[in-house]
Each structure stands twice: as C-alpha cells, then as structure tokens.
Structure 1
Amino acid sequence: MNTRPLGKSGIQLPVLGFGASSLGQEFRQVRLDEALEAVHTALDLGINLIDTSPFYGRGMSEVLLGVALRDVPRDTYQLCTKLGRYTDRHFDFSARRVEESVHTSLQRLGTDHVEILLLHDVEFVPLPQIWEETLPAVLKLKEQGKVRAVGFSCYPMKTFHTVLDHVADEIDCILSYNRYTLQNTTLVDQLLPRLKDKGLGVMNAGPFSARLLTRTGPPEWVKEPDDVKQAAVAATKLCDEHGVDIAQLALQFSCAHQDLATCIAGSANPDNVRKWAEWIDQPIPEDLLRAVRLIFEPVLNQGHQEGLPENN
C-alpha cells in the first residue's frame, strides 16, 4: 500500500489506516476471532497503522490489540493511541494522569513505545490546561523514547486554531474526524494551509461520517442536522442507481488528498477491511463524484457542536 509522510516527523503512514474503535465494541458486539482476524487482515494488506484509545471499549480495544499483535514483529506495524478521554464524561488531562495512562496503554498493547500519541478530544476541557500542563508531560515521554510523535485530536475548528496558537511549534501532528468527507471539507478548506506551513502531519478519520455516508445510514446518536441526513439519503440513492456503494465513493474521496498522511477507517469485520483495500485501488468515478458533491453543496461543511460551548 502506498504511504505518505506524517509531516516532518520522519514517520511514513499508509494512505489507509486501521481504526480499532470497533474492537472496543463501540458500535456492536464483536466476536474475539472476528476482531483478531480483522487486525491480521489489515496488516496483510499493508494497512499497518493501527489507531486506538483507552476510551474505545474503556480499554478493551487496546487489550484485544495486545492479543492480536502478540506474535507479530513490532517493526511491521505502527501504533497510535491517545490519552485524556476515558469515558463519555470522564476527561483527565492532568500531568499526573499522562504517565499513568501511557504506562497502562503500553502494557495493554504489549509494547514499550507507540509511534503516535494524541491528546484525545481536547474540546471537552478548558483549553489552557492542554498547553500549560498536559503537553509538557507528554513531551517528557517523547524524550524517553516511549513516543515518536505527539499531537491532539478534536472536532471544532475553533478548538484546533486555539490550541495551535500555543502548541504548533511543539507538536508533530493532528487528527481530525468527519472533517474531510463528501459532505464536509473543513479540514482542507480551513485548517490544512496552517498545518502545512508548520510542517505538521495531518491524519484524517471518519470517511463515512459515522455511517452517514453508507447504505446503512447513521445511528440515532449522530448529531448532524436533518438536511444533511436528507442529502445523504439522496446521494446514496444516486450512487445505487449507478451501481456504486456510496461508502466506496466516500472512502476513495477521503483517501485521495495527497496532503493528508492517512485516512483512518475502522471495522472489526475482516470482509470490510478487504473491501476497503480493494476500493482505494480502483479509479474514482469522477462524474458520479461531481454529481454527489453537487447534492451536498447546499449543506456543505454543516456540522454540529462538540465539547464545551466556549470551544465551539
């Protein structure tokens, strides 16, 4: 699989990364054999970036990854994990928790280091703590060799810019989700120029926008406005009329941008992983892509609020 550089970090990432949130049963119950096969399938296909977090399954994702990777040579895969978010309501970005969290993650994963460590969903806390307390503690772990690259993730554009005002010279990368899709391109439109100027790596996640851009459709908890959901239904119908799964078009679009180091998609179903690898090797149906993006034009870049009100 083709790779791209993660900014100036020296790390090369596959254009498609494996998201392990599903291993934590975030979306459905998962069989152990199925979860392990999904990880091994990804690695066999060259999808050797694995993204996880102690939040996913409240540790279950990291534990299952540790089992799946036990006999896999460490130099054949790259790990990204996170800290700071542990449940839907429990956030702890204190310096004390940084070392404890990473130590626990490394033990679960069965390794002595991770390639990438992210501060997870920082929009849920008062932001000064991130640059005054959390990041200095994380940089100490980088000096110790437990982490190669550090960064943060969030959803609101305001939060990205506020945090970058204080940390852009100290971090290596960011992760954004649902912000470079068929319906929302704010990652590239509003943030990418600033990141490129600083040489920061850019990871994109959520190409299916929480199943909004799939034949299944979004679950009830998806917060996007109704007109966005209606446009997605129309786009899905158009793709079906052309014999194309909208999820294929969504993944191809999100993986194609050359300035995004990787696009992370997650599933505990090995058949999905195989299908995704096939899709990104196929040419994008450009006429259909233009027609679908025309459907989304009236709702382009509409999103939702996430985290503290003042961070939106």
Structure 2
Amino acid sequence: MRRHDLGRTGIEVPALAMGAASLGSIYHPVSQDEADATVATALECDLNYFDVAPYYGLTTAETALGKALKGFARQSYTLATKIGRYGDQDWDFSADATKRSIEASLGRLGTDHIDVIQCHDIEYGDLAQLRNEALPTLRKLKEEGVVRFIGVTGYRLDVVEKIAVEEQVDTVMAYCTYTLQDRRLAPVAERLAAAGIGVLNASPLGMGLLTTRGAPSWHPGNERVFELVAAAARLCTLAGTDISELAMRFALTTGHEHGIATTVVGTANAHNVRENARWADSEPDATLLKQVEAILAPVMDAGWDVLPGNGGKAGG
C-alpha cells in the first residue's frame, strides 16, 4: 500500500483509509463480530487510518470501532473523529459542546487522545461559533495533548478552503468531490497541499451514486447525473467489470497527483476491505476510463449544489 504525508502533521497515511461510519449500522445492522473482523482485516492490509464521528449511527460507530480496536497497540493506528454535528440537523460548535463531545468520544473509543479531530460539515453550522469557540477550544486541547491535530470537513469547497487557510488548520476532508463524475476537489487540494494542509477525499463512490445499484432514494443528486452514471455502469458491466471498481481505482491511484493524501472509504465487510486494498494498488483500465468519461462529460463536476436534484443537502 502506497503511503503519503498528511500535510505537515508528520502522520504518514495509506492511500486508502478506513471510514468507520458503516460500523454504526447506518445502512444495515452490523454485529460487533463483523466490526471486529472488518477492523482487524483493515490493519492486516495496512489500512491504519480510521475515520469516525459521533454523528455516525448516533455514537454507535465510535463505540463499535473502539471495541474493535481494543487489543491493538495504540501506536499502530491513527484515529480521527469529529465534533460539531450530532444529528441530521443538529450542529453545535460551542466550547462546552466541543469539550463534552471529545470527552465522550475518548470514552467510546477507549483512548486517551485523538490524533485528528475534525469540525464536522462546517458549512451547515454557525461559522462564527466555529471560529470563536470550537477552534480555540480545540487548540487548547491540542496544547494539553488530548488532540494532536485539528481539521475541518464539508462538501462546500469554497467554505472549507477559506476556513482551513484562514484558521491554519492541519487537515481538510471533503466529500464526493473527487470521483469519476465530480473532480472539483483537485485544484482545491493542490492549493491546500501547497499550504501544508493534509487533504482527505471521502466517498469516492459519490454516496452510492457510482455503483451498479445506483444512487439510493435519499441521494440529493440530479436526475440527469443518475441517468448518465447508469449508462456508464452498464458499459462497465458489458466490459466485464463494475463501475465501483473503476471509480475506486481512479480515485485511489490518481488523487495524490492533485495533493490528496488519502481517500476514505467506508465499509463494514472484511471482504470489501480486501478488495478495496487490492484496487488501491492498480491503475484503472485506460480505455474503459476514457469511454466512461465520454459518457459522463455532460455532467462532469455537476454536484447537487450545481444541478438541483430530487433530494436536498444535509441540514436542508
């Protein structure tokens, strides 16, 4: 597994990082045995960066991950969680909520420190409160050694880049914006990386968009995007492969050239972890990639903030 520096943090991350949201049974029930097997397989495959949040499964993902990591040496993995988002439409970047959230996360995760603490989906919260309360609180906790590095996450690239640069945070994680169909993160990541900020790309399958099943019913995307991605998926099937594999190979092997340190992929299945790890070390089929790009050209870089869809963004 290729590894890259996470900005100026000194943390070396695998090209593929483990998203732990699925461990919280947010898509289907996941037993602790399944969570344990998924985490153990990830570590076996050298995927030792775990990303989670209190919001995922309303704390159950953190709890499952903490139990699954029990028995593994703390220095053998990097642990990232979040503050600020606690429900579908519940954001709180106050100092008190931030301190309470971190204390609770430490307990659920079974650790005395968090490597990367991230302010979650910041564009939907109170940005003044984020600047004036959450970030100063996190900096104090950093001085105390409770957290090592501070980051922000979100979908709105203009917002996350502005806050990251002005507040000099350590990391940025963006969702669904470096995929086969939407690559707007690339120039932003290049600028952030040049500023020494570690960039994480999350959801390279576009929250289920780039799969043979297609976008789930709650997906906020646009019908034209759905239509063309479905056509691209059919082409991949005819070529004897799966659009998910092509999408994963694309994101995992090309992101670093744009300053992306790692791509965060969630699963609660040990077999999927092994498949994802295998895909991380092999380039996509160049001919098929060009054919798929031609199909997607009319909707390239068209996220749901660009083309209104049938859903609505988080918090909307």
TM range (shorter): over 0.9
Q: 1:185 aligns with which of 183, 191, 199?
A: 183
**Equivalences for residues 77-92 of structure 1 within 5 A:** 77-92=77-92
Counterpart residue identity of residue 173, structure 2: L
2:280 is the alignment partner of 1:283: no
Number of the residue aligned with 1:68: 68
Give the TM-score, by structure 1 length: 0.95
Q: How many residues are aligned here?
A: 306
**Equivalences for residues 108-187 of structure 1 within 5 A:** 108-164=108-164, 166-167=166-167, 169=168, 171-187=169-185
2:249 is the alignment partner of 1:235: no
Query: Hey, what's the Cα distance between the residues in 2 that align with 1:59 and 1:231?
Result: 36
Number of the residue aligned with 2:194: 197
SS state at 1:58 partner: coil
Query: Hey, what's the Cα distance between the residues in 2 that align with 1:193 and 1:281?
Result: 22
Kept in 2: contact 1:17–1:49 (CA 8 A): yes
Query: Hey, what's the Cα distance between the residues in 2 that align with 1:164 and 1:205?
Result: 17
Number of the residue aligned with 2:260: 260
Query: Hey, what's the Cα distance between the residues in 2 that align with 1:173 and 1:39?
Result: 23
Query: Hey, what's the Cα distance between the residues in 2 that align with 1:194 and 1:282?
Result: 26
Q: CA deviation at 1:65?
A: 1.0
Over 3 Å counting, the alpha-carbon distance change for 1:165 and 1:199 in structure 2 is closer
Number of the residue aligned with 2:8: 8
Query: Hey, what's the Cα distance between the residues in 1 that align with 2:7 and 2:103?
Result: 26
Number of the residue aligned with 1:22: 22
Q: CA deviation at 1:161?
A: 3.7
Q: CA deviation at 1:194?
A: 2.5
Counterpart residue identity of residue 272, structure 1: N
Number of the residue aligned with 1:225: 222
Q: CA deviation at 1:303?
A: 1.1
Over 3 Å counting, the alpha-carbon distance change for 1:161 and 1:261 in structure 2 is closer
Structure 2 residue runs without a partner (length 5+): 306-312
2:71 is the alignment partner of 1:40: no
SS state at 1:82 partner: strand
Counterpart residue identity of residue 188, structure 1: A
Number of the residue aligned with 2:54: 54
Query: Hey, what's the Cα distance between the residues in 2 that align with 1:206 and 1:122?
Result: 17
Q: CA deviation at 1:308?
A: 7.0
Over 3 Å counting, the alpha-carbon distance change for 1:303 and 1:156 in structure 2 is same
Kept in 1: contact 2:193–2:260 (CA 8 A): no
Over 3 Å counting, the alpha-carbon distance change for 1:308 and 1:277 in structure 2 is closer
2:254 is the alignment partner of 1:248: no
Number of the residue aligned with 2:103: 103
Number of the residue aligned with 2:310: none
SS state at 1:244 partner: coil
SS state at 1:277 partner: helix
Query: Hey, what's the Cα distance between the residues in 1 that align with 2:189 and 2:269?
Result: 32
Counterpart residue identity of residue 218, structure 2: W
Structure 1 residue runs without a partner (length 5+): none
- Of 281-290 and 89-98, more deviation after overlay is shown by 281-290
Q: CA deviation at 1:151?
A: 0.8
Runs of 4+ displaced beyond 3 Å: 305-309
Counterpart residue identity of residue 44, structure 2: D
Q: CA deviation at 1:307?
A: 5.4
Q: Deviations over 1:255-305 (max 9, x none)?
A: 122221110101111111111111222332111111111111110111124
Q: CA deviation at 1:31?
A: 2.2
Query: Hey, what's the Cα distance between the residues in 1 that align with 2:165 and 2:148?
Result: 22
SS state at 1:56 partner: coil
Q: 2:211 aligns with which of 204, 209, 214?
A: 214
SS state at 1:86 partner: strand
